Structure 1
Amino acid sequence: MSVLPNAGNNESSVTAPKMFGDPDLDRMAMEYVGNMQRYRENIIIPKSNGPVKIKTNEEKFIETAVESCGFKCTMACVMGYGLGAALGLFSASVNPNMADPFANEKKQTAREVFREMRSTTHSYAKNFALIGCVFSAVECTIESHRGVTDWKNGTYAGGITGGLIGLRAGVKAGIIGGLGFAAFSTAIDYYMYSR
């Protein structure tokens, strides 16, 4: 491709680039290829409800960080710990191990009740945090491997997570736990995607 100065003018203007030896082929190439300039105004952004806004680099960085597997696992762990603590506190408050007031047993002090409540709450919180972290890590790994975001990721992740949790009690419990967790994950995903 050569650029030749215009011999007819004394000005230093430049003619169109020559790609072929034949001027007809050059004109045809320029017709199909265009003037080789790209304008920012030619970007086509699909319209949705509301104004169209191009994301800044900071927004893209935050979006990438929030969608990463590490962030998802951390958030699932923290939220699972909070939910488990709430359920553990509720479970400890309705626990029927209160002493009989008419029996000659030693009554529990408030400190013993709170200590037992704290241990129950912490136990529930740790278990829910572990389940949330494992489920989120497995689901994110499956989603990254498959390259698709759909209900199957949650089902597979539920099966693997339930199987891993149930394996502590044996193979049969692992299979039942995997099937149950997969069914529950599928039902939740169906409910969330159908809304």
Structure 2
Amino acid sequence: MSMIPNPGSNPEEAAKPRMFDNADLDKMAMQFVGNMQRYRENIIIPKSNGPIKIKTNEEKLIETAVESCGFKSAMACVMGYGLGAALGLFSASVNPNMSDPFANEKKQTARQVLKEMRSTTHSYAKNFALIGAVFSVVECTIESKRGVTDWKNGTYAGGITGGLIGLRAGIKAGIIGGLGFAAFSTAIDYYMHSR
């Protein structure tokens, strides 16, 4: 219970404190502060920033799914596979394993050439898919742990990914691979965000 003087016409009543119960205090709080429920219809958004559209629950659900680590890593894997396949196909077509006609070697058939192109394309595609998936998982994990979205996440993820891939060839290759991939990730992130 709170005691607040009641201003009135009579000075004796003005000096006498008035008692408020909890219901009166709640009504005053509702008047000055507002209720705890939020209604979309009561939101006032300035139009100086352009047209505003409030998202529905379905749009929020789809946005949450698309921004999840699992979806990002799956998309990076699929896109990495596609990019690797394109580069592998280009590499196999530019540098075919041709037989030497002066060494009396047997000429390759079209089937052998296509088989070789397929294996090269698939090899490139698998490597790029692996790199994309590992980078995406590591970056998303770092971003979740740090709670910040900035250029450092890509740099750290590039260093870890390059180090893990380079470790297949040894410690020195892992360190060089980590530093190179971190620098590459930082440069790409800077280029993408500066435009």
Partner of 1:99: 99
Structure number with the higher helix fraction is 2
- The alignment-based identity, stated in percent, is 83
Cα-to-partner distance string for 1:123-166 (whole Å, 9 max, x where unaligned): 00000000000000000000001111110000000000000000
The verdict on how the C-alpha distance between 1:68 and 1:35 changes in structure 2, with shifts beyond 3 A counting, is: closer
For residues 150 and 69 of structure 1, the distance between their equivalents in structure 2, rounded to whole angstroms, comes to: 16
The verdict on how the C-alpha distance between 1:178 and 1:35 changes in structure 2, with shifts beyond 3 A counting, is: closer
Partner of 1:7: none
For residues 42 and 143 of structure 2, the distance between their equivalents in structure 1, rounded to whole angstroms, comes to: 34
Q: Determine helix, strand or coil for the equivalent of 1:182.
A: helix
- More divergent stretch after superposition (45-54 vs 121-130): 45-54
In the TM superposition, residue 32 of structure 1 has moved relative to its aligned partner by 8.5
For residues 134 and 39 of structure 1, the distance between their equivalents in structure 2, rounded to whole angstroms, comes to: 41
In the TM superposition, residue 99 of structure 1 has moved relative to its aligned partner by 1.7
Q: TM-score, normalised by structure 2?
A: 0.81
The runs of 5 or more residues in structure 1 that have no matched partner are 2-19
Partner of 1:88: 88
Q: Which amino acid aligns with 2:19?
A: G
Q: Which runs of 4+ in 1 moved over 6 A?
A: none
Number of aligned pairs? Answer: 175
- 1:114 partnered with 2:114: yes
Structure number with the higher strand fraction is 2
Q: Which amino acid aligns with 1:165?
A: I
The runs of 5 or more residues in structure 2 that have no matched partner are 2-17
For residues 46 and 107 of structure 1, the distance between their equivalents in structure 2, rounded to whole angstroms, comes to: 73
The verdict on how the C-alpha distance between 1:39 and 1:146 changes in structure 2, with shifts beyond 3 A counting, is: closer
